[in-house]
Each structure stands twice: as structure tokens, then as C-alpha cells.
């Protein structure tokens, strides 16, 4: 994937570029918001990684203008600022994801993978955890290369859990994913689906964190 990195801290940009290159991404680096805007128009890029603290203009303003010129261009925000307001404003302005410094490269790669899958540009839309493989494009699931039939809702839940492996998905979170499809949900819908999924998936594949939610652990 071709990534436009907008970051004014040179050492951070250099390291990010190296690690993104290692992941097989092509990276163009600019240091100023103005350059980011002109590069995004003239060059072909699939993703913008935008630092909010830029020397020439407010990063949120850059985000706004980027989204004005190309609504479909995914933008991942980096920031050292804290405060929930900033995050909310960023996401309201159309940012696709938000990472606050300090972040690990793994975290960044995971976020990029999610965006890639959303775009459908990922060469392999296949997520494999242990012996379970999920093809996010074909929406099929296999265990030890043997296809397993899942209902659409079960697949949605599995996808949410597997895409964010190692991260707890709260019941609310999973419910809202189903809501997006306009489904009617009763209070125990998620529990029912999880219980059905457990019968089809390997033992202990989906963990319950009591009082919090569900997680598919990293192997």
C-alpha cells in the first residue's frame, strides 16, 4: 500500500518509514500540512498517516481539507495531545482511526491492516489465528482448512473479534456492529450467538472476560 506520512519529527518519521517499508508499504514523507495537501492531490496514495501537531497548520484543519478533496481517502491520526475531545473531533471530521503517542509499531500495523481490509486492497484478506482462518472478502471461515458454515450474524461477530485479536470487544461494541446492519437485537442476542459459535469453533477460541466482553487471544 502507498502511504503518505505527515510527521514533522524527523527521527520518528525515519523509523516509521523503515518499519512501514519492512511491512511492504511504500511511504512518501512530508513534514508540513501544506505539503501534505498538495501531495495528496497530485500523488496517488491509499492511506494518510497524519500527525496532528504540525508546525505550519493545525492537523485537524489538514484532515478537514483532505477529506474535502477526497472523501474516500482513509486517514489515520497520530497525536501526542490527550483529551477525549481531540479524539472525538478527529473521528467526527472523518478520520478512520486514532493512535496516541507513544504507540507501538504492532498497534500501528494492526490499525493499517484493518483499514486495508476495509479498502479491500489487502493482498491477503485472510486472517488466521491458530487453526482458524477467516476470509474477510469471501466471508468464509475454515478450521484446519475445512469450511465451517456460520450465519451472517455469527460471521460478523467472529470477524469483529478476529480482526482485533487480543483486544476485548464489549457486548455493546458487538451489538452496535449488528445494529449497523439494521438488525433487531434483544438483550441476550450476543450471548446466544457466542454460545452457538463456541460449539462450532475450537474450545477456548473465544474467551469471556466477565463483566467486560469477549476476546480472541493472540497466539
Where on the chain is the footprint of other proteins (CB under 8 A)? 82-84, 102, 166-168, 170, 209-213, 215, 217-218
Q: What is the nearest approach in angstroms of other proteins to the Cβ of residue 111?
A: 15
Nearer to other proteins, 11 or 72 (CB): 11
Q: What is the nearest approach in angstroms of other proteins to the Cβ of residue 95?
A: 19
Q: What is the nearest approach in angstroms of other proteins to the Cβ of residue 173?
A: 9
Can you tell me the distance from the alpha carbon of 169 to that of 172, in angstroms, rounded to the nearest whole number?
Answer: 8
Find the helix or strand (DSSP H, E) in which 91 lies. Answer: helix 84-92
Nearer to other proteins, 37 or 174 (CB): 174
Nearer to other proteins, 46 or 86 (CB): 86
Can you tell me the distance from the alpha carbon of 148 to that of 140, in angstroms, rounded to the nearest whole number?
Answer: 8
CB 149 within 8 A of CB 139: no
- Phi, then psi, of 210 in degrees rounded to 5: -60, 130
Can you tell me the distance from the alpha carbon of 75 to that of 91, in angstroms, rounded to the nearest whole number?
Answer: 10
Nearer to other proteins, 56 or 103 (CB): 103
Q: What is the nearest approach in angstroms of other proteins to the Cβ of residue 168?
A: 4
CB 177 within 8 A of CB 156: yes
Can you tell me the distance from the alpha carbon of 122 to that of 58, in angstroms, rounded to the nearest whole number?
Answer: 31
Amino acid at each position: 500500500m502507498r502511504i503518505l506520512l505527515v510527521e514533522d519529527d524527523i527521527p520518528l518519521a525515519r523509523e516509521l518509514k523503515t518499519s512501514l517499508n519492512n511491512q511492504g508499504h511504500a511511504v512518501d514523507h512530508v513534514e508540513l500540512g501544506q505539503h501534505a495537501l498538495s501531495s495528496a492531490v497530485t500523488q496517488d496514495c491509499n492511506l494518510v498517516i497524519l500527525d496532528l501537531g504540525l508546525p505550519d497548520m493545525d492537523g485537524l484543519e489538514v484532515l478537514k481539507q483532505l477529506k474535502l478533496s477526497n472523501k474516500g481517502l482513509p486517514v489515520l491520526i497520530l497525536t501526542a495531545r490527550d483529551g477525549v475531545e481531540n479524539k472525538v473531533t478527529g473521528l467526527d471530521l472523518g478520520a478512520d482511526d486514532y493512535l496516541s503517542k507513544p504507540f507501538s509499531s504492532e498497534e500501528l500495523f494492526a490499525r493499517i491492516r484493518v483499514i486495508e481490509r476495509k479498502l479491500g486492497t489487502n493482498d491477503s484478506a485472510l486472517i488466521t489465528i491458530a487453526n482458524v482462518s477467516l476470509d474477510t472478502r469471501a466471508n468464509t471461515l475454515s478450521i484446519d482448512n475445512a469450511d465451517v458454515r456460520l450465519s451472517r450474524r455469527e460471521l460478523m461477530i467472529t470477524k469483529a473479534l478476529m480482526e482485533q485479536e487480543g483486544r476485548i470487544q464489549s457486548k455493546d461494541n458487538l451489538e452496535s456492529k449488528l445494529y449497523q446492519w439494521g438488525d433487531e437485537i434483544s438483550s441476550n442476542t450476543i450471548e446466544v450467538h457466542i454460545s452457538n459459535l463456541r460449539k462450532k469453533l475450537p474450545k477456548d477460541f473465544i474467551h469471556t472476560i466477565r463483566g467486560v466482553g469477549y476476546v480472541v487471544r493472540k497466539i
